[in-house]
Amino acid sequence: MKYDILLIGGNGFVGRVLAAKLQAAGYSVLLPTSHLAAARELRILPKVYLEDADVHDFDELQNLCARIRPNGVVINLVGVLHDKPANPYGNIFKAAHVELPKNIITAMQIHSLKRYLHMSALGADSNGPSMYQRSKGDGELAVKVSNLDWTIFRPSVIFGAQDQFINLFSKLTKLMPALPLANCEAKFQPVSVEDVADVFVRVIKMPETIHQSYDLVGPTIYTMKEIVTFAARKAKTACLIIPVPAFIGYLQALAFEFLPVPTLMSRDNIASMQAPNILPANSKDALPEVFDISRRSLEGMK
């Protein structure tokens, strides 16, 4: 069977929302995952077909592309947040953000597929202050020099019912009567997962978006402290947020990296905060101006 869409990274937070929207729009979706057990909620979507596959294996990636219709679309949502320090970035970032896009491009070329939608990140820059930003920037460069009909999306922090950002701070404020917080003045412009997913669906039928990059942001800029305060209200807690110097935050992140649990915050995350994660001064506000989307606010988050 041939499919309309190959959705790589579709078992994540954004991918699950996007898979449902693609199906609602009438597309058949091939969704590879190496974690089938974690994809239970996707099984109820009749036009979304789960495949047990490792997209980092080039032969498997090629086989997946072979099952997409000639006029089909490949979407890459893969992103990781943490890696061990290295220059310019570690092997985890390299594999997910640089090598995987290159392999996708090659596999698509082999099977004469052209339309490619790529998830990058606001602040992606090959010369950026963090490994995350540098690897995302190099991934963008690989896409831009390809002969594909690509479109790149660069969202700020993405929020939604199942996000790992607002919900993480909500959990922390429930557990702690007081939360020491570094980088309180770091700026973000969070964007709704619903809005991001809507854009991915819309551009499939918008050929004018080929060879364009779009920054995706929400309607409001917040400081880190304001976001954590919002998370505490959402959790209905009275957690006291205590601003602490940047070096304390650095030490906290260093400690988190060595704990035998999933990393909550890394030194690289802190490096990313050196630049405001907001719409650049000369950038087009794509959601309302290009896609005519009335953006959802953080305060409306359920």
pLDDT tens-digit map of 88-116: 999 999 999 999 999 999 999 999 999 99
Instruction: CATH number of the domain at 151, please.
Output: 3.40.50.720
- DSSP for residue 277: B
211 has pLDDT over 90: yes
Give every CB contact of residue 230 below 8 A, 6+ residues apart in sequence: 166, 222, 298, 299
d(CA 53, CA 119): 20
| 197 within domain boundaries | yes
DSSP E strand boundaries for 9-85: 29-33, 48-52, 68-76
The predicted model gives 251-274 an average pLDDT of 81
Range(s) of the domain holding residue 142: 3-160+191-217+279-296
Average pLDDT, the chain: 93
Residue, of 248 and 25, whose pLDDT is higher: 25
d(CA 246, CA 228): 17
Q: What is the per-residue pLDDT across 74-88, written as a single tens digit (0 to 9) for each?
A: 999 999 999 999 999
Instruction: Report yes or no: 198 and 292 within 8 Å, Cβ to Cβ.
Output: no
pLDDT band at 35 (very low <50, low <70, confident <90, very high): confident
Residue, of 44 and 96, whose pLDDT is higher: 96
| 28 within domain boundaries | yes
pLDDT band at 175 (very low <50, low <70, confident <90, very high): confident
Q: What is the per-residue pLDDT across 138-149, written as a single tens digit (0 to 9) for each?
A: 999 999 999 999
d(CA 16, CA 32): 12
- Tell whether the torsion through CA atoms of 32, 38, 43 and 45 is positive or negative: negative
- Among 269, 188, 262, which residue's Cα sits nearest to residue 225? 188
| 59 within domain boundaries | yes
Least confident window among 38-52, 90-104, 120-134:
38-52
| 136 within domain boundaries | yes
pLDDT band at 266 (very low <50, low <70, confident <90, very high): confident
| 167 within domain boundaries | no
167 has pLDDT over 90: no
Residue, of 4 and 242, whose pLDDT is higher: 4
In this predicted structure, what is the pLDDT of residue 282? 87
Q: What percent of the chain has pLDDT over 90?
A: 71
- Among 109, 19, 28, which residue's Cα sits nearest to residue 61? 109
| 141 within domain boundaries | yes
In this predicted structure, what is the pLDDT of residue 302? 64
In this predicted structure, what is the pLDDT of residue 239? 86
Count of domains for the chain: 1
Q: What percent of the chain has pLDDT over 70?
A: 99
Q: Where are the alpha helices (DSSP H) in the chain?
A: 13-24, 58-65, 91-93, 100-110, 131-144, 166-175, 193-203, 224-234, 246-258, 267-272, 286-289
| Count of residues in the chain | 302
| 119 within domain boundaries | yes
